[in-house]
């Protein structure tokens, strides 16, 4: 038997059972009484049975109608529960946004962005996955993160890249370092001093290795670290200098650290926002993206 009725017809049936009259039922479901009558006629026609006995003074269920009541209640209750479950999932999703960032981008973008987002939406929690470029890519591709901020290169085919800024690598050094007074230094000059390098698991290491194939350091690094932020901490502690992306440096004047331009060659990386091509962002994630895009791009502090 083909089903030629819908949920509105079942809800009309339940409304009559609960209210005891077509007039009160029509008021309850907010439609006209003739429209309610048409829904019941449609339901009875589809089932090929009579559900109500109607007189000018009252309406009552037929025997078939009474047997139909628990079935209708079961169907509509199941639908209500399903809709509530979906709403709960949507609500919990809306109350949290997850963004994956390489640490330097997290340092540069997220304090300002999170502060403004929290001011506007204090009940929505932001999860920041600060990790390597590879892990940021995986987090977005698998859906662990709503979107990510990383640099271009070796991205999954499921992920799109939208440029936010291009930045050059600079030399991080202490203000009391012999090279701190220079406006720019060459890579070869930097490598003549004690320096901290990034290990082979770092996406920055890959960029630098490709760009500096013709540069042969005159000495080995005194220390390797995985994250740029750690390298800067070691520089501040006086262990040496380090080549780092400019956004990782303090954005205002720092009492100890200084960024010096690196040249011959000038090495640039592209930082952008990555999203899963087939996934629609939640309204909360879209708002976080909007705030992130509106973050002013500034040069590192002097």
Q: Which residues of 218-252 are buried (b: 16+ CB within 10 A; e: fewer)?
A: eeebebbbbbbbbbbbbbbeebbbbbbbbbbbbbe
Q: Given a cut of 70, is residue 137 above it in pLDDT?
A: yes
Averaged pLDDT score across all residues of the chain: 86
Q: Is the pLDDT of residue 200 over 50?
A: yes
Superfamily of domain 94-164+270-293: Periplasmic binding protein-like II (3.40.190.10)
What CATH code is assigned to 167-268? 3.40.190.290
Q: What is the pLDDT of residue 267?
A: 92
Q: pTM above the 0.75 mark?
A: no
73-87 mean pLDDT: 71
Instruction: Please determine, looking at this structure, whether the domain spanning 7-92 carries the CATH number 1.10.10.10.
Output: yes
Q: Is 244 helix (H, G, I), strand (E, B) or coil?
A: strand
Q: Is the peptide bond before 264 cis (omega within 30 degrees of 0)?
A: no
Delimit the CATH 1.10.10.10 region(s) of the chain. Answer: 7-92
Q: CATH 3.40.190.10 region(s) of the chain?
A: 94-164+270-293
Start-end of H helices in 167-224: 187-190, 203-211
Q: How far is CA 246 from the centre of its chain?
A: 25
Confidence class for position 30, pLDDT limits 50, 70, 90: confident
CATH 3.40.190.290 spans which residues of the chain?
167-268
**What pLDDT, on a 0 to 100 scale, did the predictor assign at position 189?**
93
- Between the CA of residue 111 and those of 56, 103, 122, 163, 175, what are the distances in Å? 71, 12, 15, 20, 25
Q: Report d(CA 270, CA 165) in Å as an integer.
A: 6
Asked whether the predicted pLDDT for residue 250 surpasses 90, the reply is no
User: In this predicted structure, what is the pLDDT of residue 83?
Assistant: 64
Half-sphere exposure of 149 (CA within 13 A, CB side): 26
Identify which of 270, 286, 278, 287 has the alpha carbon closest to the alpha carbon of residue 159: 278
Look at residues 220, 230, 34 and name the one whose alpha carbon lies nearest to residue 130. 230
In the chain the beta strands, taken as DSSP E runs, fall at 52-54, 59-61, 96-101, 125-130, 147-151, 159-174, 184-186, 195-198, 223-225, 241-245, 257-263, 268-276
Q: What token pair was written down for 192?
A: 């003549």
């Amino acid at each position: 038997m083909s089903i030629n009725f819908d949920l509105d017809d079942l809800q009309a049936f339940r409304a009559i059972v609960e209210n005891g009259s077509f007039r009160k039922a029509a008021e309850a479901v907010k439609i006209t009484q003739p429209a309610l009558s048409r829904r019941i006629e449609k339901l009875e026609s589809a089932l090929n049975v009579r559900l109500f006995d109607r007189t000018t003074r009252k309406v009552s269920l037929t025997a078939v109608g009474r047997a139909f009541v628990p079935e209708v209640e079961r169907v509509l209750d199941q639908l209500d529960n399903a809709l509530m479950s979906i709403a709960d999932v949507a609500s919990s999703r809306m109350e949290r946004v997850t963004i994956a960032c390489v640490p330097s981008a997290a340092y540069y973008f997220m304090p300002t962005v999170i502060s403004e987002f929290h001011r506007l939406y204090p009940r929505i929690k932001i999860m920041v996955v600060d990790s390597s470029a590879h892990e940021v890519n995986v987090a977005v591709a698998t859906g662990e993160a709503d979107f990510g901020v990383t640099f271009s290169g070796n991205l999954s085919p499921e992920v799109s890249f939208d440029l936010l800024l291009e930045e050059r690598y600079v030399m991080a050094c202490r203000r009391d370092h012999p090279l701190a007074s220079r406006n720019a230094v060459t890579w070869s000059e930097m490598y003549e001093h004690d320096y901290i390098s990034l290990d082979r698991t770092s996406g920055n290491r890959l960029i630098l290795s490709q760009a500096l194939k013709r540069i042969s350091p005159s000495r080995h690094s005194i220390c390797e670290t995985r994250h740029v932020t750690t390298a800067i901490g070691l520089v501040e502690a006086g262990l040496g200098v380090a080549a780092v992306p400019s956004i990782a440096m303090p954005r205002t004047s720092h009492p100890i650290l200084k960024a010096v331009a690196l040249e011959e060659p000038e090495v640039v990386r592209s930082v952008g926002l990555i999203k899963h091509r087939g996934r629609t962002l939640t309204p909360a994630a879209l708002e976080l993206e909007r705030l992130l895009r509106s973050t002013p791009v500034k040069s590192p502090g002097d």
